[in-house]
Amino acid sequence: MKRKSKLMLTIILAAFVFQGLLAQNKDTGILYTNPDKSIEVRVNDLVSRMTLEEKISQMQHTAPAIEHLGIPAYNWWNEALHGVARNGIATVFPQAIGMAATWDTEMINQEAKIISTEARAKYYEAIGKNEHKIYQGLTFWSPNINIFRDPRWGRGQETYGEDPYLTASIGTAFVKGMQGDNDKYFKVIATAKHFAVHSGPESTRHSFDAWPSETDLYETYLPAFEALVRDAGVYSFMGAYNRVYGTPACANDLLLEKNLRAKWGFKGYVVSDCWAVSDFYNGHKFVPDAAKAAALAVKAGTDLSCGGEYGKLNDAVKLGYISEAEIDVSVKRLFTARMKLGLFDPPEMVPYSSIRPSANNTEENRQFARKVARESIVLLKNESSVLPISKKVKSIAVIGPYADEISVLLGNYNGDPTNPVTILQGIKNRSGKQLKVTYAIGVDQPDKLAQDTSLARKQETKVAEALKIASQADMVLFVGGISPDLEGEEMPVKIDGFSGGDRTHLDIPKNQQTLLEKIAALKKPVVLVLTNGSALSINWAKQNIPAIVECWYPGEEGGNAVADVLFGDYNPAGRLPLTYYKSINDIPAFDDYRMAGKTYRYFKGEPLYAFGYGLSYTKFDYAGFSAASASIKAGDPLKLSVKIANSGKFDGDEVVQIYGVQPGTVATRPVKSLVAFRRVNLKKGESKVVTFEIPPVQLRHYEPKIGDYAIAKGQFEFQVGAASNDIRENIKIEVK
């Protein structure tokens, strides 16, 4: 008890030290030190006391202390894509694409609450040591809500998939959990990124100019960003590297002013992607120098620079490119954010100041990471009920380059887990004494083979060892796919299938495919467990391997979660948040930002696995899909219901999905669009009536003739089912 009290005292004292003048009496007339005054009054007073040079210093991600004003140093750069990242020990949840595969907004909201608690815990630990370094603040550059429009994009793993509504729903839940629900203070500040029309290729992101159609811009690229403003109150945006319609995203009036602030009512601050402002003159050749670029970005509404470009704002003022009054607008937004985090108030006023460093990386958080991982796992195939693993199986051979690999648990932008559980270890943890588990790597990872030529000489031996243990086992688990060492942000990788972090085809590495075929020839039951952050064209496996399990990059408890599913301790219910194509040749070019031919909404071919797809160990029946009324007025919500029954032998979750098809009068309508979903738990033999209220925004389309959204009058079709291509019932509703 004494130890905890001492720690509490240290944190409180440290907070007062770093707040400098805030310890002064409220009656001194210095308004910004008075927490009883409104934030607007305090910010105006504070900024009025700063010199131009001091203001500019606060507009870069590394903001120095201003001692005479009692302003502590602050570093704005922090990451929390799927857990507090890059700052030592923290709970590591499944990568974002896996979070989306849960289709469970309530759980993702709870995950974000845990992440933000750990964030506060680590923040107080840092200030207790008088540290204000990168990755130690309370402003997090997450979530990434770009649309995963093309499976070749290496950063697609950071997104919530290819659908605007699913992305908006998961993103909204995440932001609310991060920022908290206090009326006065943010728990942390979340950042919606990368705004906008940003989704690869990585190799040209610093110079690329995206020209989507107006319809694609407003129906695919912007809706999730809008939802996070309107529905989640997200308080920060990050501008993208690329241009949109010829203008850099971080200086784009259409994006930053006309839509973000004027139309959506955004009140927070905007930060540039890191060194994106320097792309104005280096990559885009849009302006000649840093002073012009900095002025242009600030005038357009990019308040904070990740990078040092805003150091040239003093020159920009002298040259007449920008005024100090225009700079004041951004500085005030930034200090408003810091005050809303409680960084200028006594700790006892801030409800989150009671969070201790011990709240980080707890056993409860670890078990929640396991829960999220289990819910994210997608069962793609289960021929002859190979899964769950039968008790008759007495020996299992675990083979593959990712079976005992930690990196595939973590994805990218991750924290450091204390005890990560690989898939091999998870199998061993669950197998008990009655089940023999053997392991062989079989083949090495392609990136490691490229780096170490001596590994290539050992491949035949490794293959032989894998085939030997496979031939002696009752069942084979092959853990393959790809890894975050191959796909990601601007990576120095150039081997077959991968270039600079992006992908050049969707097949699994050739050495894995060859070994998998040899194992299958042994005529043993084989389960393929996939690790990856993007779609795979596993055509041969779909035809020849009895069971396939998609586990993404499943976080620190990934191995235990996979074992839970394989052994039937958990009934899988994850659903694909993106389309699996048969070949990369089935979709348009990577640098074509038009949506035609991409994602389930516009793809007219036959997918390998469809958006929303995922199997279960049980069976669900649908009946009685109906609407409260056969017609509604345009602008009114639509009420739908359907009865779901678990007629199988296992308890489990079903993800009920509703898709809308707009009237034929909408010229550019998608094939169909997700308009509602719900993850529902049903015991075996149980049934439930699931109801939905679909808001008018889900029925709208962009109408170029009026330059705005509209809801078409006429007959809409609504489909309910277990996947975008597994529709069980449909109804038609007249919109008047």
Rounded distance between C-alpha atoms, residue 529 and residue 400, angstroms: 9
pLDDT digits (tens, 9 = 90+) for 291-317: 999 999 999 999 999 999 999 999 999
State yes or no: pLDDT of 13 exceeds 90.
no
For 583-631, the pLDDT digits (tens) are 999 999 999 999 999 999 999 999 999 999 999 999 999 999 999 999 9
pLDDT at 16 over 90: no
Model confidence band, residue 403 (pLDDT cutoffs 50, 70, 90): very high
Looking up tokens 């079976």, which residue turns up?
403
Q: Following DSSP, what letter does each residue of 202-251 receive, concatenated?
A: GGGTTT-EE---HHHIIIIISHHHHHHHHTT---EEEE-SSEETTEEGGG
Provide the 8-state DSSP code for 168: H
Contacts of 705 (CB under 8 A, 6+ apart): none
Place of tokens 């989150």: 352
Give the E-state strand segments of 368-429 in sequence order: 378-382, 395-399
Answer whether 145's CB lies under 8 Å from 82's CB.
Answer: no
Query: What mean pLDDT is reported for the chain?
Result: 95
What is the average pLDDT across 96-102?
Answer: 98
> What HEC string does 649-714 produce?
CCCEEEEEEEEEECCCCCCCCCCCEEEEEEEEEECCCCEEEEEEEECHHHHCEEECCCCEEECCCE
What is the phi/psi pair of residue 514, to 5°?
-60, -45
pLDDT (tens digit per residue) in 199-233: 999 999 999 999 999 999 999 999 999 999 999 99
Cβ atoms of 235 and 140 closer than 8 Å: no
Question: What percentage of the chain's residues is helix, strand, coil (to nearest 5)?
Answer: 40, 20, 40
What is the model's pLDDT at position 459? 87
Residue 537 · residue 569 · CB < 8 Å: no
User: Omega of the bond prior to 194 within 30 degrees of 0, cis?
Assistant: yes
Residue 28 pLDDT class (50, 70, 90 cuts)? low
For 67, residues 6+ apart whose C-beta sits below 8 A from its C-beta are 20
**Coil vs helix vs strand at 75:** strand
Reported as a pLDDT band with limits 50, 70 and 90, residue 170 is very high
Question: Is the confidence at residue 651, as pLDDT, over 90?
Answer: yes
Q: What percent of the chain has pLDDT over 90?
A: 93
Q: Which two tokens stand for residue 624?
A: 């009685």
Average pLDDT over residues 23-42: 80
What's the one-letter identity of residue 652? G
Catalytic residues: 273, 487
Q: What is the mean pLDDT of residues 700-707?
A: 95
The reported pLDDT for the residue numbered 324 is 98
Distance CA 208, CA 248 (A): 9
| Cβ atoms 373, 98 nearer than 8 A | yes
What are 399's two structure tokens? 């083979």
CA distances from 494 to 216, 375, 480, 583 (A): 31, 34, 20, 20
Look at residue 71 and give its three-state secondary structure: strand
Q: Which residues of 36-57 are buried (b: 16+ CB within 10 A; e: fewer)?
A: eeebeebbbbbbeebeeebbbb
* Domains of the chain: residue spans and CATH: 369-602 (3.40.50.1700), 620-735 (2.60.40.10)
415-429 residue pLDDT tens: 999 999 999 999 999
- Picking from 508, 504, 500, 466, the residue whose alpha carbon sits closest to that of residue 483 is 508
Mean pLDDT, residues 328-342 taken together: 98
**Predicted local confidence at residue 623, as pLDDT:** 98
Is pLDDT of 277 > 90?
yes
Task: Identify the CA nearest to 250 among candidates 196, 192, 291.
Answer: 196
Whether the Cβ atoms of residue 471 and residue 523 lie closer than 8 Å to each other: no
The count of other CB atoms within 10 Å of the CB of residue 130 is 11
Contact in structure between 690 and 678 (CB atoms under 8 Å): yes
pLDDT of residue 449: 87
**DSSP character at residue 485:** T
With CA atoms as reference, report the closest residue to 565 among 544, 546, 550: 550
Which of 26, 22, 28 is CA-nearest to residue 36?
26
Instruction: Report how far residue 335's alpha carbon sits from residue 351's, in angstroms, rounded to the nearest whole number.
Output: 20
Q: Where are the alpha helices (DSSP H) in 22-163?
A: 39-48, 52-57, 96-101, 105-127
pLDDT tens-digit profile of 373-390?
A: 999 999 999 998 999 999
For residue 1, the model assigns a pLDDT of 41
Q: What is the CA 562 to chain-centroid distance, rounded?
A: 21
CA pair distance 546, 52, nearest whole angstrom: 68
CA distance 70 to 63: 13
Whole-number pLDDT of residue 73: 97
Q: Given phi > 0 = left and psi -120 to 50 = alpha, else beta, which region is 85?
A: beta
Looking at residue 643, its pLDDT comes to: 98
Is 80 exceeded by the pLDDT of residue 715? yes
